Chain A
Amino acid sequence: MEKPSWTPIVLSGAVPREATDLLAILVMGIVAVEASLAALSPTLFGSRLWLSLLVAPPTCALASVSTTTRRTREELALFAYGGSGWQILLRYFIRGAIIALVAFSPVILQEFLTTTSILNLVAAVIVLLLTGGSFYSLPSLRRIRSSSFVENYKS
């Protein structure tokens, strides 16, 4: 007698292979490496702001690509309302920069209170805003430039 099996469903999708899976692995990997390095040598990695910044790009990219369907609808609507590509990109760039700034605010505050070089801190914050904004808006740029984007207007 033929017996149904549940294993193909599990095994065919158990291995992480999507872009979002890889981004999640990257984020957790960076955090894990940072924690290990700090434990190994607290003095060398005492100022952890720069190392922490490595987490911003993949996290912002992950936030952006994990809502692709909804985001595409937003972009289609904004174009239909008369918006331009750069306005849409700016919208997401600012959103990404805010996300990064809010998330890193405890580290920035700590650095502000303890740092001896304010310039170093300002540079780190600028890098943070640029990477957060860029990596949040890049998936949109890729989408709206693709030839298949306008196909979404058709049913």
Chain B
Amino acid sequence: MSSVIETRSVVVEYPSVKGILRLYDQGVSLKVDQGDFLAVLGGSGWGKSTLVNVILGLEKPIHGSVSFRDHDVTRESFVKRCALIKTAAVFQRPTALPQMTVSQNLHLALSLAGVPRKDRDERIKEALAFFGLDKIERSYPDGLSAGQRRRIDLARALAVKPELLVIDEPTGDLDGSATNLLIPLLRGLNRNQGTTIFMTTALPRQASQAKHQVHLRPPLYLTPENRMIGD
């Protein structure tokens, strides 16, 4: 089976006050097959969001490579990766456009994803209803709670009906009931529509709901003397 995403020995480094922060010291090598649901589990500051950015082409690793459908995309942009696999991303921080209503935000995302105009209204209606956003579809994101803005992002990503859904800590900012709904929703999406899901989480219970898991290791700091110290 061809892999949707494959990373080989990916390492990322950042300058920090304690020295060079090295994420994934041994290198992250993982493979996400078509129809897979992979959860990346790690603590705070271990590089979960960075790995999402590397997968999406928003950050470049200092070592290693990323492939989408066996094409090396390590140096390619998110847009070029989307051309290989229809991808939707949900980041940790809500990203809705502040000057557009909830509904207009979804319209814009669907239009950028190339969804035909005639299908957009129906898809948006479904997604908004599912996430309980139908009553605030004409509201602007700035007037909404963090949890509601998070749901806008989820609705936007799912309305696109992506082949690959990349989702960074999906239940951050969500209340208990929305959290309880979301993971079964992702599993259903994966099982029924065959959507490939790449998810990060800090919660082992959430990660256990995925088909496969990858555990990240804590980062290391490289001091100026090139001594390696654990976090």
Identify the A interface with B (CB < 8 A). 70, 73-74, 76-85, 150, 152-155
B156 and A81 contacting across the interface, CB-CB below 8 Å: yes
Shortest beta-carbon contacts, A-B, top 8: A153-B91, A154-B49, A84-B79, A150-B58, A80-B95, A81-B109, A155-B92, A77-B95
Q: Shortest distance in angstroms between A98's beta carbon and chain B's nearest beta carbon?
A: 16
A153 and B109 contacting across the interface, CB-CB below 8 Å: no
A73 and B49 contacting across the interface, CB-CB below 8 Å: no
Chain A's closest residue to B60 (CB) is: A147
B49 and A76 contacting across the interface, CB-CB below 8 Å: no
- Which of B50, B93, B108, B172 contacts A81, CB < 8 Å? B108
Q: Can you list 6 pairs linking A and B with CB atoms under 8 Å apart?
A: A79-B58, A81-B156, A82-B112, A153-B93, A154-B49, A155-B49
Chain A's closest residue to B97 (CB) is: A77
Known A70-B98, A73-B98: A82·B109 in contact at CB below 8 Å: yes
B78 and A82 contacting across the interface, CB-CB below 8 Å: yes
- Which of B59, B98, B112, B172 contacts A155, CB < 8 Å? B172
Chain A's closest residue to B153 (CB) is: A80
Q: Which residues of B contact A152 (CB under 8 A)?
A: 93
Identify the B interface with A (CB < 8 A). 49-50, 52-53, 58-59, 77-79, 82, 87, 89, 91-93, 95-99, 105, 108-109, 112-113, 153, 156, 168, 172
- Which of A74, A76, A77, A82 contacts B113, CB < 8 Å? A82
Known A150-B59, A153-B53: A84·B98 in contact at CB below 8 Å: no
Q: Shortest distance in angstroms between B199's beta carbon and chain A's nearest beta carbon?
A: 15
CA A132 to CA B99, docked complex, whole Å: 22
Known A73-B97, A82-B79, A84-B79: A153·B92 in contact at CB below 8 Å: yes
Most buried by B among A77, A84, A85: A77
B98 and A74 contacting across the interface, CB-CB below 8 Å: yes
Q: Which residues of B contact A78 (CB under 8 A)?
A: 97
Q: Shortest distance in angstroms between A147's beta carbon and chain B's nearest beta carbon?
A: 8
CA A79 to CA B53, docked complex, whole Å: 12
Q: Which residues of B contact A70 (CB under 8 A)?
A: 98
- Which of B77, B92, B93, B112 contacts A85, CB < 8 Å? B77
Q: Which residues of B contact A80 (CB under 8 A)?
A: 89, 91, 95, 153
Q: Which residues of B contact A77 (CB under 8 A)?
A: 95-97, 105
Q: Shortest distance in angstroms between B178's beta carbon and chain A's nearest beta carbon?
A: 17
CA A154 to CA B51, docked complex, whole Å: 11
Q: Shortest distance in angstroms between B45's beta carbon and chain A's nearest beta carbon?
A: 10
CA A152 to CA B58, docked complex, whole Å: 11
CA A153 to CA B55, docked complex, whole Å: 14
Given A76-B91, A82-B82, A155-B93, 4 other A-B contacts at CB below 8 A?
Answer: A77-B97, A84-B78, A153-B92, A155-B49
- Which of A76, A81, A84 contacts B77, CB < 8 Å? A84
A150 and B53 contacting across the interface, CB-CB below 8 Å: yes
Chain A's closest residue to B91 (CB) is: A153
A153 and B77 contacting across the interface, CB-CB below 8 Å: no
Q: Which residues of B contact A84 (CB under 8 A)?
A: 77-79
CA A78 to CA B111, docked complex, whole Å: 12
Q: Which residues of A contact B78 (CB under 8 A)?
A: 79, 82, 84
